[in-house]
Amino acid sequence: MNRLDARFAELKSRGEGALVAFITAGDPFPSHTADVICALAEAGADVIELGVPFSDPLADGPTIQAASFRALQGGMTPPKVLDAVREARARGVTVPMVLMGAYNPVLQYGPEKFAQDAVAAGADGAIVTDVIPEEADTWKPIADAAGLATIFLLAPTSTMERMEAVGKLAAGFIYCVSMTGITGTKEVVPSELPGLVSAIREHARETPVCVGFGVKTPEQVKAICVFADGAVVGSSLVTLLHENREDPDVLSFVKEYVASLKTATIVP
């Protein structure tokens, strides 16, 4: 069983939602990425998403775009992202890890080699943001053969046909985008979101559904975990790391924040 499947099954048995924590690999400092991964795991993150920096990111808001730029300027590359995953595993991290980014770096790396190297390093899944289900016939078999779960995005604009296509192909979990637009721009959980998650679940074939984009407070996490399998928090974590990058206590701040978010996934 993939670590993602095992984690979601465990959470379901305990009546908890998943806290999915996103950071941009290489930001604020490439050499510290494994340290941040370890801190997220220690604080209670259930799944860790690592953004693979790319010069032309899709759907990312200004916060994550800036983080990607800083990471690239610092010399972060896909092989170094995998090195960080490998180091975190060597240091005892057992939390599922997912790589998130555009297909271009995967293509440059070599899709088969990327999938195989990702799994060998300790990654469990990949969100390739610009690979839609209708065009996944090259990537999906490669990922499946390597044992790397392919996680697809669905949004408020997704048709029932798209939901059905994703439901047939998705593994690990389905990433439900809470709004149209870019990441990190809303403060409240949209009122139509429970209906969207319900519609996705009709096609999900038992695949968990997690909600992200704009989620940053324990209150939002709690509200989402009432109707979804988990919440994804990204931009606020990236901001916290960047704004406190020179502070020797930055990882303590990260742990405190993540622990407060994780507590909110326990819904009565």
Pairs from 218-223 (Cβ < 8 Å, separation ≥ 24): 218/260, 218/261, 218/263, 218/264, 219/264, 220/188, 220/189, 221/17, 221/19, 221/261, 221/264, 221/265, 222/264, 222/265, 222/267, 223/189
27 is catalytic: no
* Residue 256 bears catalytic tag: no
Q: Which secondary structure element, helix H or strand E, spans residue 193, and what is its range?
A: helix 193-201
User: Given this model, what pLDDT does residue 165 score?
Assistant: 96
182 lies in a domain? yes
Q: Is residue 221 part of a domain?
A: yes
Q: Is residue 268 part of a domain?
A: no
Note whether residue 38 is domain-resident: yes
Catalytic residue among 60, 117, 124, 229: 60
User: Residue 91 falls within a domain, yes or no?
Assistant: yes
Q: Which residues contact 142 (CB under 8 A, 6 or more apart)?
A: 111, 112, 115
Give a yes or no: residue 180 inside a domain: yes
Instruction: Out of 49, 117, 124, 229, pick the active-site residue.
Output: 49
Q: Is residue 79 part of a domain?
A: yes
* Contact (Cβ atoms closer than 8 angstroms) between residue 178 and residue 231: no
Please state the pTM of the whole predicted model.
Answer: 0.94
Structure confidence at residue 183 (pLDDT): 44
Domain span at 226: 3-263
Is 16 a member of any domain?
yes
Q: Residue 258: what pLDDT?
A: 98
Specify the pLDDT at position 184. 43
How many domains in the chain? 1
Per-residue pLDDT, 246: 95
Q: Which domain CATH number covers 231?
A: 3.20.20.70
Tokens of 94: 């057992």
Per-residue pLDDT of the chain (268 residues; tens, 9 = 90+): 699 999 999 999 999 999 999 999 999 999 999 999 999 999 999 999 999 999 876 656 788 889 999 999 999 999 999 999 999 999 999 999 999 999 999 999 999 999 999 999 999 999 999 999 999 999 999 999 999 999 999 999 999 999 999 999 999 999 999 865 444 444 557 788 999 999 999 999 899 999 998 899 999 999 999 999 999 999 999 999 999 999 999 999 999 999 999 999 998 7
